[in-house]
């Protein structure tokens, strides 16, 4: 099985065969996630979709303690490699077989500067093919036709999609995205953290339900198993 934990905003924990993967750690700066302690989180790998502060804030603290391998686009991975962290650089369209499964770095339509304005490469998302389950983590992105490429290679069991609007897709576009990636089981993220991205939970779930789809919105710290 694959255990997926929501750590708030766009931070996701994935546990497969005792391997711990953390995606986009932004916890210590998220008042809604104050009950999550970054000093106890396990991480063998840290996957980063892009370089924005609300996705990388806790990378160094967690990677220093865990010696996790930082997986991201070439620019972001090298940035951490140059600072002495373990890293694995990728770029769009490329896949790599890790111990927990195959990771593909896919297109996201967004931007990717580091907090100091330096270049963070081009933003992406991840398709993870585990032993039994496959998931798509879209990252921050607009709705894009490139999402249609994903089901040509991978049958997804879960799509993790941003739904907060303003910086990313809104709920309506996320519904279309779930059509594009051919996955009706969606975990929503990137909502409610800031005033710009507050959403109505019941309305969002109903809109998905009306299209025959399932939108899950997890409490921060809650998990699902696939």
Shortest spacing between CB 167 and Ni ion, in angstroms: 6
Spatial CB neighbours of 10, under 8 Å, sequence gap ≥ 6: 23, 24, 26, 49, 54, 55, 139, 140, 162, 189, 190
- Looking at the Cβ atoms of 130 and 164, the one nearer to Mn ion is 164
Shortest spacing between CB 20 and Ni ion, in angstroms: 24
> Does residue 140 interact with Mn ion by CB under 5 A?
yes
Six-digit token pair at 17? 């065969």
- Looking at the Cβ atoms of 16 and 137, the one nearer to Mn ion is 137
Taking residue 6's Cβ as centre, other Cβ atoms within 10 Å add up to 24
- Looking at the Cβ atoms of 147 and 197, the one nearer to Ni ion is 197
Q: Which does 15 bind (CB under 5 to 8 A by kind): Mn ion, Ni ion, none?
A: none
Taking residue 108's Cβ as centre, other Cβ atoms within 10 Å add up to 26
Spatial CB neighbours of 6, under 8 Å, sequence gap ≥ 6: 12, 13, 187, 189, 218, 219, 220, 221, 222, 223
> Does residue 165 interact with Ni ion by CB under 5 A?
no
Shortest spacing between CB 187 and Mn ion, in angstroms: 16
From residue 122, alpha-carbon distances to 61, 88, 196, 224 in Å are 24, 16, 23, 30
> Does residue 54 interact with Mn ion by CB under 5 A?
yes
> Does residue 52 interact with Ni ion by CB under 5 A?
yes
> Does residue 192 interact with Mn ion by CB under 5 A?
no
- Looking at the Cβ atoms of 4 and 57, the one nearer to Mn ion is 57
Q: Which of 15, 44, 140, 192 binds Ni ion (CB under 5 A)?
A: 140
Binding residues for Ni ion (CB under 5 A): 52, 140
Binding residues for Mn ion (CB under 5 A): 54, 140
């Amino acid at each position: 099985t694959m255990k997926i934990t929501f750590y708030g905003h766009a931070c996701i924990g994935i546990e497969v065969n005792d391997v711990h993967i953390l995606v986009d750690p932004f916890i210590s700066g998220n008042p809604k996630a104050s009950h999550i302690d970054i000093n106890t989180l396990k991480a063998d790998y840290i996957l980063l979709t892009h370089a924005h502060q609300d996705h990388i804030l806790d990378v160094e603290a967690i990677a220093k303690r865990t010696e996790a391998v930082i997986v991201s686009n070439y620019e972001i991975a090298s940035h951490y490699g140059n600072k002495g962290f373990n890293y694995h650089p990728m770029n769009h369209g490329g896949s790599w077989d890790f111990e927990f499964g195959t990771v593909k770095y896919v297109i996201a339509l967004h931007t990717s500067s580091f907090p100091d304005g330096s270049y963070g490469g081009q933003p992406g998302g991840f398709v993870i093919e585990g032993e039994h389950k496959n998931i798509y983590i879209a990252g921050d992105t607009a709705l894009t036709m490139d999402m249609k490429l994903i089901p040509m290679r991978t049958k997804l069991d879960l799509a993790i999609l941003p739904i907060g609007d303003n910086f990313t897709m809104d709920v309506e576009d996320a519904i279309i995205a779930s059509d594009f990636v051919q996955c009706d089981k969606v975990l929503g993220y990137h909502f409610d953290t800031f005033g710009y991205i507050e959403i109505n939970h019941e309305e969002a779930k109903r809109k998905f339900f009306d299209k025959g789809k399932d939108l899950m919105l997890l409490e921060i710290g809650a998990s699902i198993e696939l």
